[in-house]
Amino acid sequence: MKRTTRNRLVAYSFLLPNFIGFLVFTLIPVIAALGLSFMKWDSYSPMRFVGLRNFQTMLKDSSFKIAFWNTLYFTGLTVPLTIVVALILALALNKGLRSVKVFRAIHFFPHVASTIAVAVVWQFLYHPDMGPINQLLRLVGVSDPPRWTASVTWAMPAVIIMSVWKSAGYYMVMFLAGLQGIPGHLYEVATIDGATAWQKFRYVTLPLLTPTLFFVLTMNLIYSFKVFDQIYIMTEGGPGRATMVLVYYIYLQAFVNQNFGYASAMAAVFFLLILGVTIFQFRLQERWVTYLD
Amino acid sequence: MRKRRILLLIPILLSSAIMLLPFAWMLSASLKTNVEVFKFPIEWIPKNPQWRNYVTIWSKIDFGRFYFNTIKLTVIITLLQLATCSLAAYAFAKIDFPERNALFVAYIATLIVPFQVIMIPQFILFRRLGLVNRHLALILLQAFSPFGVFLMRQFYLSVPNELVEAARIDGLSEFGIYRKIMLPLSKPALASLTIFTFVFVWNDFLGPLIYLHSGHLRTIQLGIRMFISQYTAEYALIMAASVCSLIPVVIVFLACQRYFVEGITLTGLKG
Best CA proximity match to B153, nearest among B216, B105, B214, B115: B105
CA atoms of B14 and A93, how far apart (whole Å)? 12
Q: Which of B145, B37, B152 is nearest to B94 (CA)?
A: B152
Determine the average pLDDT of the residues in B241-260.
Answer: 86
- Min Cα distance A247 → chain B (Å) is 7
Residue to mutate among A13, A25, A122, with most B CBs inside 10 A, is A25
Q: What is the pLDDT of residue A48?
A: 75
CB B178 within 8 A of CB B87: yes
Among the listed ranges A67-81, A185-199, A269-283, B72-86, which one has the minimum average pLDDT value? A185-199
* Residue A240 · residue A216 · CB < 8 Å: no
Question: Would you tell me how many other CB atoms lie within 10 Å of the CB of residue B193?
Answer: 28
pLDDT in tens, B106-161: 888 888 888 888 899 999 889 888 889 999 999 999 988 888 888 888 888 888 88
Q: Which value, to the nearest 10 degrees, does the dihedral of the CA atoms of residues A66, A68, A69, A70 take?
A: 80
Q: Which domains does chain B have, with CATH numbers?
A: 1-50 (no CATH), 60-267 (1.10.3720.10)
- Give A155→chain B minimum CA distance, Å: 19
Question: Using an 8 Å Cβ cutoff, are A176 and A94 in contact?
Answer: yes
Q: Is 90 exceeded by the pLDDT of residue A187?
A: no
Q: Do B106 and A114 touch (CB under 8 A)?
A: no
Average pLDDT, whole number, for chain A? 87
Q: Which stretches of chain A are assigned E, i.e. beta strand?
A: 39-40, 48-49
pLDDT digits (tens, 9 = 90+) for B177-235: 888 888 888 888 888 888 888 989 999 999 999 999 888 899 999 988 888 888 887 88
Residue type, A199: Q
Percent of chain B's residues with pLDDT above 70: 95
pLDDT confidence tier of residue B265, bands split at 50, 70 and 90: low
Once rounded to an integer, what is the mean pLDDT over residues A58-77?
A: 92
Mutation for testing the B interface, residue in A2, A16, A18 having most B CBs under 10 Å = A18
Please report how the helices B63-94 and B187-203 are oriented relative to each other, as an axis angle in degrees rounded to 10. 140
> Would you say residue B271 has pLDDT above 70?
no
Q: How far apart are CA A82 and CA A91, in angstroms?
A: 14
Nearest chain A Cα distance for residue B163, angstroms = 18
Q: pLDDT for A119-136, tens place per residue?
A: 999 998 998 888 888 888
Query: Which region, left, alpha or beta, applies to residue A240 given φ > 0 means left and ψ of -120 to 50 means alpha?
Result: left
Cβ distance A97 to B88 less than 8 Å, yes or no, reads no
For residues B219 and B225, give the distance between their C-alpha atoms in angstroms, rounded to a whole number: 10
**N-terminal to C-terminal alpha carbon distance within chain A:** 44
Strand blocks (E) in A45-93: 48-49
As a whole number of angstroms, the distance between CA A180 and CA A173 comes to 11
Which of B44, B97, B129 lies closest to A15 in space, CA to CA? B97
Sign of CA dihedral A68, A72, A78, A79: positive
Q: Which residues of A touch B38 (CB under 8 A)?
A: 124, 127, 130-132
| Rounded Cα gap, residues A141 and A122, in angstroms | 22
% pLDDT > 90, chain A: 31
**What residue type is assigned to position A254 of the chain?**
A
Q: What is the DSSP letter of B180?
A: I
If you measure CA to CA, which chain A residue comes closest to B234? A124
pLDDT (average), residues B97-102: 84
Q: What's the pLDDT at B202? A: 93
Nearest CA in chain B to A278: B112
- The confidence score (pLDDT) of residue B226 equals 87
Please give the pLDDT value at position A110. 92
Mean pLDDT score, B63-76:
92
Poorest-confidence range of A152-166, A196-210, A240-254? A196-210
Pairing of strands A39-40, A48-49: antiparallel
Burial of A69 (0-12, 13-18, 19+ CB in 10 A): middle
Lowest mean pLDDT among A43-52, A234-243, B81-90, B161-170: A43-52
- Per CB-CB distance under 8 Å, the chain A contacts of B87 are 14-15, 17-18
Beta bridge partners of A48: A40
Provide the pLDDT confidence category of residue B263 given band limits of 50, 70 and 90. low
- Whether residue A233 contacts residue A116, with contact meaning beta carbons closer than 8 Å, is answered with yes
The pLDDT tens digits of the residues spanning A218-268 come to 889 988 999 999 999 999 887 989 999 999 999 999 999 888 888 888 998
CA R_g for chain B: 23
Is there a contact between A117 and B246 if contact means CB atoms under 8 Å apart? yes
**Closest by Cβ to A117, choosing from B12, B113, B224:** B224
Q: Which long-range contacts (CB under 8 A, 24 or more apart) does B48-56 make?
A: B50/B236, B53/B236, B53/B237, B53/B240, B54/B30, B54/B240, B54/B244, B56/B237, B56/B240
CA–CA separation, B253 vs A213, rounded Å?
26
DSSP H or E stretch at residue B201: helix B187-203
Assembly ipTM: 0.85
Tell me, what's the pLDDT at B266?
Answer: 63
A1 and chain B: CB distance < 8 Å anywhere? Answer: no
Q: List the domain boundaries for chain A.
A: 76-288
Q: Is A240 exposed, middle or buried (0-12, 13-18, 19+ CB in 10 A)?
A: exposed
CATH topology of domain A76-288: MetI-like fold (1.10.3720)
Residues of A in contact with B244 (CB under 8 A): none
